[in-house]
Structure 1
Amino acid sequence: MSTQKTVRQQADTVEENALRLEQEKAEQIVDALNSELANAYVLYHQLKKHHWVVEGAEFRDLHLFFEEAYEHAEEGADLIAERAQALGGVPVSGPTNLEQRATVEFEGEDVYDLRTMMENDLEMYGDIIESMRDSIELATNLGDHATAHMLREILFEVEDDAHHFEHYLEDETLVLEQATH
């Protein structure tokens, strides 16, 4: 383990950036990006949990579907974190900080029936979509068109995944198990 004690940049600070975005604007955008980053990781962990615990008649397809969805969440998170750093900020990290910064809430450690888990996921997707739209508007209004563009691309993927969840939740899917006594 490193014995280095020098802090190069404290968390929750924004330094000058080479992108020539005024520090006050960069601070607002980095704050929004850190919320989006935290949301992405809450979603990631919930989807990962569902990937691990899914069972039933549609196990294989849904196991792979959850994997694809959590990979999308992680890819988006990586882009968001790198953009926050490029703007002079420190990407939020660590489970406690992520939980505190997120505007969405993890469903908890319990395992639910498949339909409930997917409804919880779809609800979280909806909350993230609304939050990302607000962050896109903020970045656009502050003149950070590159961040707005990046978030739009991530939003497209988030909306597409949400749409797939919606399809799985249609009435004629997710085979219901009959209780046997």
Structure 2
Amino acid sequence: MSSQETVRRQADTVGENPVRIDEEKAKQIVEALNTDLADAYVLFHQLHKHHWNVEGAEHLDIHVFLQEAYEDVEEAADEIAERLQALGGVPHASMPALSAAATVEPEDEDVYDIRTSLSNDLEMYGDVIESYREHIELVEGLGDYATGEMLREQLEDLEEHAHVIDHYLEDDTLVLESATR
């Protein structure tokens, strides 16, 4: 680390922005987006955990799906952080700041059966989806249609992943129970 430190922008501040969103409005948007960013990282880590630990006959399909899902969440987080910068904000980047801003609760460190894991993922997706809908309404009400559009596009991906997980949790399967063989 450099012995000379120059803070260029303090965390939890919002300054002027090149997209001409009023500073007071930008503060509200930045706060909402930092929440979305924090929630995205909690979701990312939980999906990644389940990707690592999935077992059983459907291992490969679920393993591949979870990788796609966490990669999409990571890409969304990057877009959110870039938008925060454009609005004059400072994206949360440390684990303590992200943990404090997150509104979703991660699963603990234990490894669960895949049905429990996917149920936990679906619950978290639902919470994130609801938050996105509220934030889309907020940002568009403040005149930030570009952020609204970005969140709408991300919301489509979130809803699609939730839909896939819901299908994985259905009771119809081609995998036979060992007790019925």
TM-score range, shorter chain: over 0.9
Kindly report the root-mean-square deviation, in angstroms, between the aligned alpha carbons of the 2 structures.
Answer: 1.4
TM-aligned CA distance change 1:89 to 1:57, over 3 Å? same
Instruction: Provide the secondary structure at the position in 1 that maps to 2:19.
Output: coil
Identity rate of aligned residues, in percent? 64
TM-score by length of 2: 0.95
Could you list the runs of 5+ residues in structure 1 that have no partner in the other structure? none
Deviation at 1:172, TM superposition (A): 1.3
Deviation at 1:99, TM superposition (A): 1.2
Other-structure match for 1:21: 21
C-alpha distance in structure 1 between counterparts of 2:46 and 2:88, whole Å: 30
Tell me the alpha carbon deviations over residues 136-179 of structure 1, each in whole angstroms, 9 at most, x when there is no partner.
00001000000001100000111111111011111114958658
What amino acid is the match of 1:13?
Answer: T
Deviation at 1:6, TM superposition (A): 1.1
Q: In the alignment, is the contact (CA less than 8 A) between 1:126 and 1:162 conserved in 2?
A: yes
Instruction: Provide the secondary structure at the position in 2 that maps to 1:10.
Output: coil
Other-structure match for 2:45: 45
Other-structure match for 2:148: 148
Count of matched residue pairs: 179
C-alpha distance in structure 2 between counterparts of 1:12 and 1:176, whole Å: 54
TM-aligned CA distance change 1:174 to 1:128, over 3 Å? farther
Other-structure match for 2:133: 133
TM-aligned CA distance change 1:34 to 1:22, over 3 Å? same
C-alpha distance in structure 1 between counterparts of 2:174 and 2:93, whole Å: 35
C-alpha distance in structure 2 between counterparts of 1:84 and 1:177, whole Å: 49
Q: In the alignment, is the contact (CA less than 8 A) between 1:14 and 1:88 conserved in 2?
A: yes
Other-structure match for 2:107: 107
Other-structure match for 1:89: 89
C-alpha distance in structure 2 between counterparts of 1:12 and 1:76, whole Å: 21
Moved more, 89-98 or 137-146: 89-98
How does 1:165-176 map onto structure 2 within 5 Å?
165-173=165-173, 175=175
Other-structure match for 2:76: 76
Could you list the runs of 5+ residues in structure 2 that have no partner in the other structure? none
C-alpha distance in structure 2 between counterparts of 1:137 and 1:126, whole Å: 17
How does 1:112-123 map onto structure 2 within 5 Å?
112-123=112-123
Q: In the alignment, is the contact (CA less than 8 A) between 1:54 and 1:63 conserved in 2?
A: yes
Instruction: Provide the secondary structure at the position in 2 that maps to 1:107.
Output: coil
C-alpha distance in structure 1 between counterparts of 2:61 and 2:80, whole Å: 29
Deviation at 1:2, TM superposition (A): 2.1
Tell me the alpha carbon deviations over residues 30-71 of structure 1, each in whole angstroms, 9 at most, x when there is no partner.
000000000100000000000111111111111111100000
Query: Displaced runs of 4+ in structure 1, greater than 4 A?
Result: 174-179
Deviation at 1:95, TM superposition (A): 1.4
